[in-house]
Amino acid sequence: MTVFDDLVGQDHAAAVLSRAAAAAGEVVAGGRGAGMTHAWLFTGPPGSGREEAARAFAAALMCPDGGCGHCDQCHQMLIGSHPDLETVRPEGLSYSVRQTRELILRAAGAPTQGRWRVILFEDADRATEAAANALLKAIEEPPPRTVWLLCSPSPDDLMITIKSRCRLVTLTTPATEAVAHVLATRGNVPPDIATFAARAAQGHISRARALALDEDVRRRREAVLAIPRSLTGVGECVSAAERLVKTAEDEAAAATAALNENETSELRKLYGEGSTGKGLNRGLVRGGAGALKELEDRQKSRATRLKRDSLDAALLELVSFYRDVLAMQFGAEVELANDDLRFDLDQLARSSTPEETLRRIDAIMQCRERLAANVNPQIAVEAMMLALRP
């Protein structure tokens, strides 16, 4: 067993990273370590396991045996508790230059326990232009034992100057059979449910796991995929848009409510709320008003991001539905992501033309672009629903 065993369907990437980890060991021992570099870029479609691959590589860098998977170094890196691992997860719409500069200062320190200091930057594509410029300077001249691991859906999502200074690790969409096997053998999921979840998730591992284990997730998918047959008039289109946006808002609120409360409570305590002593409580809380405002802004940005992510996931479900319709219209012998809805697919395939299906797919993709450009979600989704109407 090694730390790379959990990289589903990524044999080539695992081999590359394993060789690089061995080269890193040569560097530590004073050798040349050909194949090892201080900046890596992990790219691949959503669900391909970018962060998992980066974390496994980080463990292999720390492990004396190149990622055995059972020593303390591997265990701490894989669960994220190693003192020489800095994990960055942009929770809001973007990652600011101030946050990046703070990160660079922390990255400049020498390793305390391990052989390297590893900075794992998830969703590096969310860095603002100013933040990316600051990051570039750190990657160009890194400390001798600091390794940057950047994750992004596509190399083109990052500045070309950053991309050119990183070694690229490209991950692919895992096959349905590979994902189903992992669900069945490691998650004790019945084979038929594992196959359904893997197929419906189109290789997105975490999405497949959620579909297999969470009935609420399956119900939400069913509700989204019932939209095409419900769009019989303008009123139905508006209602469908309202339901979709409301569901995304509710999911974002549920995901952030407890976290927001805890963060606000901790910050208020930090600034002295509830302390005793004449004038102490008032003065410290007033001094923390700016910090509280900054926290509220971050929380709003995180909620907006979660809402957009939820909406985008629903839109991608619709894209998969119409893609299956198009495949049936052309008689293509491909795996249908929504094979469990074959009757609905067949009905729509017979009652429409491939040109109409393509226009509907274009309408969904345009809605995604509008949401990314900060268009009002209700307006964007309503326009899409009207375009999807038969």
Task: State whether residue 88 is helix, strand or coil.
Answer: strand
pLDDT tens digits, residue range 307-318? Answer: 898 999 999 999
Confidence band, pLDDT 50/70/90 cuts, at residue 365:
very high
Q: Which two tokens stand for residue 388?
A: 């999807």
What is the residue-averaged pLDDT of the chain?
88
Q: How far is CA 181 from CA 138, 176, 197, 198, in A?
A: 41, 8, 11, 9
Residue 116 has pLDDT above 70, yes or no: yes
Note the helical H segments in 32-187. 50-62, 72-79, 97-107, 129-140, 160-163, 176-186
Average the pLDDT over 295-311 and give the result.
84
pLDDT tens digits, residue range 5-44? Answer: 888 889 889 999 999 988 888 877 666 566 688 999 999 9
Distance CA 125, CA 127 (A): 5
Stated pTM of the model: 0.81
pLDDT tens digits, residue range 368-389? Answer: 999 988 899 999 999 999 999 9
Task: State whether residue 64 is helix, strand or coil.
Answer: coil
DSSP 10: -
Average the pLDDT over 294-303 and give the result.
80
Q: Which two tokens stand for residue 168?
A: 């690229």
Which pLDDT score, from 0 to 100, does residue 276 have? 53
Which pLDDT score, from 0 to 100, does residue 284 have? 47
Q: Which two tokens stand for residue 163?
A: 């991309």
Cβ atoms within 10 Å of 100's Cβ, excluding its own: 22
| Pairing verdict, β 146-152 and 39-43 | parallel
Which pLDDT score, from 0 to 100, does residue 47 have? 83
- Print the SS3 string covering 314-370: HHHHHHHHHHHHHHHHHCCCCCCCCHHHHHHHHHHHHHCCHHHHHHHHHHHHHHHHH
Closest CA to 323 of 290, 294, 345, 295: 345
- If phi > 0 it is left, if psi is from -120 to 50 it is alpha, else beta; for residue 79 that is alpha
Dihedral (CA of 79, 39, 372, 197) sign: negative
Please state, for a pLDDT cut of 90, what percent of the chain lies above it: 57
Whether 267 contacts 295, CB under 8 Å: yes
Residue 206 has pLDDT above 80, yes or no: yes
Which pLDDT score, from 0 to 100, does residue 31 have? 60
Confidence band, pLDDT 50/70/90 cuts, at residue 273:
low
- Residues listed for the chain: 390
Distance CA 387, CA 240 (A): 13
Task: State whether residue 41 is helix, strand or coil.
Answer: strand
